[in-house]
């Protein structure tokens, strides 16, 4: 058997799902793009998508829900200056394409002289970061249900205080194809799976919650016995720890953040402020500060969509640009922003492969992929021991950020009070309040244990949700405000 180059293979899969069944080929795409280019526009593209998704959830010992859906359609976009016209349809046909093309070209009232031309087709460069498998078909339904049952049994066997177990298993097979007026043709086949585990523990009338989970761009075989046991251990441990938690002290203090998922604070408080659209409009706290010091020495922050099998990774972004490893902050100096095509053009820089959209029914915008801080040279235990009085936050729940000011509020879902370098007891109700730019300057120790999260992140922006990754090493931040319950 002769195998094809991965980029060509992905294009063949996309054409087989998104063009051939509807009597379309590249000539129809060129015709639609030519219709848009009949008027003077800066950019134009077609975004085709086929998504098949499945979900199972267990509660109270039984699988209560199972869902399956298929969605497909095409989004048609024209960009003129800062203005964008967009139309989409779940009807993939030549008539729909041409109708949408004529609609969006009205963004420009200026007709092109002579016959509109679309550039000669060129296949976009792409990476091969994950296997183009359909994860839904990697296990049968009975096995998927049995996996959730195993989660329930393991969790209840851990401790008699476990009162309730909830578990979920989600799979998605996503095929996209982008055709641009500059001739670029790109495709991606994106598998995505996730398992979530939530445990409620009860003791003497007190109930507390713990959660865990993970996933990425691969098949369901990833969730073997060892992986499931790890998730269960983490969720049960968190719930039982919170049963013993005392009210959190409040005030300004040293805060140490654990590695991995606590990088969600970095994502929210700093990452969004480094997206191109906010900086082009001058609404970010980081606007116009490239080349300036924005963080303590040693702080290096990256957005990297090229890490194999990661939840936030992409072979190509949703505009057909190859994903990249983008250095945002290097040794405390701001180096640049994350860019989609439109904002990059308007800012006079190159796109960084960060043009993302939730689906064919949404416009692309600059979004993070996997955003993380590089590790330093400190031993994590040394960092915790350096706390005279302060908070050690191991895990986080939700949070909010104001992009313009950079101010954030985050709740710690697992945290400990530390005195004289020793962990004293778990605390609950701790919220961390601060400013992203200010927080970066207060980093005083960086651990050598950089870790990415387990694959659970979903980022929301302007009503759109996309899968992302976060990560960081253990960090000591001086003088953060902690809102507590004590």
Query: Comparing C-alpha atoms, which of 276, 274, 311 is closest to residue 465?
Result: 311
Query: Comparing C-alpha atoms, which of 126, 265, 129 is closest to residue 192?
Result: 129
- State the pLDDT at residue 269: 85
Does residue 262 surpass a pLDDT of 90?
yes
* Mean pLDDT, rounded, for 207-211: 96
Q: What is the pLDDT of residues 109-146, one digit of tens each?
A: 666 655 556 666 788 887 899 999 999 999 999 999 99
Rg of the Cα trace of the chain? 24
Could you tell me if 176 and 216 are in contact, meaning their C-beta atoms sit under 8 angstroms apart? no
More confident residue, 400 or 2: 400
Instruction: Please give the distance of CA 12 from its chain centroid, rounded to a whole number.
Output: 27
- State the pLDDT at residue 115: 54
Q: For 142-151, 185-194, 260-269, 384-393, which range has the lowest pLDDT when averaged over its residues?
A: 260-269
Please give the share of the chain, as a percent, with pLDDT higher than 90: 86
Query: Comparing C-alpha atoms, which of 478, 298, 482 is closest to residue 388?
Result: 478
Please tell me whether residue 446 adopts helix, strand or coil conformation: strand
Q: What is the pLDDT of residues 17-30, one digit of tens each?
A: 999 999 999 999 99
Query: Comparing C-alpha atoms, which of 480, 385, 474, 484 is closest to residue 427?
Result: 484
- State the pLDDT at residue 406: 82
- State the pLDDT at residue 486: 60
Which residues in 25-61 belong to E strands, given as ranges? 43-59
Q: What is the pLDDT of residues 304-343, one digit of tens each?
A: 999 999 999 999 999 999 999 999 999 999 999 999 999 9
- State the pLDDT at residue 1: 42
Q: What is the pLDDT of residues 339-382, one digit of tens each?
A: 999 999 999 999 999 999 999 999 999 999 999 999 999 999 99
The phi, psi pair for 230, rounded to 5°, reads -65, -45
Find the Cα–Cα–Cα–Cα dihedral 459, 279, 306, 349, rounded to 10°.
Answer: 150
- State the pLDDT at residue 101: 96
Question: Which of 35-44, 167-176, 392-401, 404-413 has maximum average pLDDT?
Answer: 167-176
Cα-based distances in Å from 97 to 4, 26, 31, 87, 275: 30, 12, 9, 9, 31
The phi, psi pair for 456, rounded to 5°, reads -125, -5
* Mean pLDDT, rounded, for 57-62: 92
* Mean pLDDT, rounded, for 68-72: 97
Does residue 9 surpass a pLDDT of 90?
yes
Does residue 43 surpass a pLDDT of 60?
yes
* Mean pLDDT, rounded, for 439-445: 94
Could you tell me if 179 and 45 are in contact, meaning their C-beta atoms sit under 8 angstroms apart? yes
- State the pLDDT at residue 54: 98
| Alpha carbon distance 62, 57 (integer Å) | 9
Could you tell me if 122 and 185 are in contact, meaning their C-beta atoms sit under 8 angstroms apart? yes
DSSP-derived secondary structure for 86-112? EEEES--SHHHHHHHHHHHGGG--PBP
Give this prediction's pTM: 0.94
Does residue 277 surpass a pLDDT of 60?
yes
28 DSSP assignment: H
- State the pLDDT at residue 112: 66
The CA-CA-CA angle for residues 33, 39, 43, to 5°, reads 55
């Amino acid at each position: 058997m002769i195998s094809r180059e991965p980029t060509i293979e992905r294009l063949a899969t996309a054409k087989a799902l998104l063009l051939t069944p509807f009597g379309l080929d590249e000539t129809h795409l060129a015709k639609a793009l030519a219709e848009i280019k009949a008027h003077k526009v800066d950019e134009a593209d077609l975004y085709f998508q086929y998504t098949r998704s499945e979900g199972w959830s267990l509660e109270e010992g039984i699988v209560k829900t199972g869902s399956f859906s298929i969605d497909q359609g095409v989004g048609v976009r024209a960009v003129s200056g800062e203005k964008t016209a967009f139309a989409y349809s779940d009807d993939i046909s030549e008539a729909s394409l041409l109708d949408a093309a004529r609609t969006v070209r009205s963004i420009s009232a200026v007709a092109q002289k002579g016959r509109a031309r679309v550039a000669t087709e060129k296949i976009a460069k792409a990476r091969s970061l994950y296997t183009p498998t359909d994860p839904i078909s990697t296990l049968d339904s009975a096995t998927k249900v049995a996996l959730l049952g195993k989660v329930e049994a393991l969790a209840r066997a851990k401790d008699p205080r476990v009162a309730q177990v909830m578990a979920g298993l989600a799979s998605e097979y996503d095929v996209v194809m982008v055709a641009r007026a500059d001739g670029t043709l790109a495709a991606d086949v994106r598998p995505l799976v996730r398992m979530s585990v939530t445990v409620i523990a009860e003791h003497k009338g007190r109930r507390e919650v713990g959660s865990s989970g993970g996933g990425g761009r691969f098949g369901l075989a990833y969730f073997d016995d060892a992986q499931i046991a790890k998730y269960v251990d983490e969720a049960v441990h968190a719930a039982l720890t919170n049963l013993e938690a005392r009210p959190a002290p409040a005030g300004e203090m040293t805060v140490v953040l654990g590695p991995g998922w606590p990088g969600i604070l970095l994502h929210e408080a700093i990452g969004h402020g480094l997206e191109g659209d906010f900086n082009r409009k001058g609404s970010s706290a980081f606007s116009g500060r490239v080349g300036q010091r924005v963080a303590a020495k040693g702080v290096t922050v990256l957005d990297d969509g090229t890490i194999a099998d990661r939840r936030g990774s992409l072979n190509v972004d949703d505009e057909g640009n190859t994903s990249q490893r983008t250095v945002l902050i290097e040794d405390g100096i701001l180096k640049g922003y994350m860019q989609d095509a439109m904002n990059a053009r308007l800012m006079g820089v190159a796109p960084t492969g960060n043009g993302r959209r939730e689906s064919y029914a949404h416009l692309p915008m600059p979004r993070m992929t996997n955003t993380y801080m590089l590790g330093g040279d400190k031993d994590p235990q040394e960092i915790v021991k350096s706390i005279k009085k302060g908070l050690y936050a191991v895990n986080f729940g939700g949070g909010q950020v104001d992009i313009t000011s950079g101010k954030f509020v985050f709740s710690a879902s697992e945290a400990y009070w530390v005195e004289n370098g020793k962990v004293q007891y778990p605390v609950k109700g701790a919220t961390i309040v601060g400013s992203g730019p200010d927080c970066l300057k207060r980093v005083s120790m960086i651990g050598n244990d950089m870790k990415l999260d387990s694959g659970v992140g979903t980022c929301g922006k302007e009503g759109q949700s996309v899968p992302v990754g976060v990560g960081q090493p253990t960090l000591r931040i001086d003088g953060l405000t902690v809102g507590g319950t004590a």
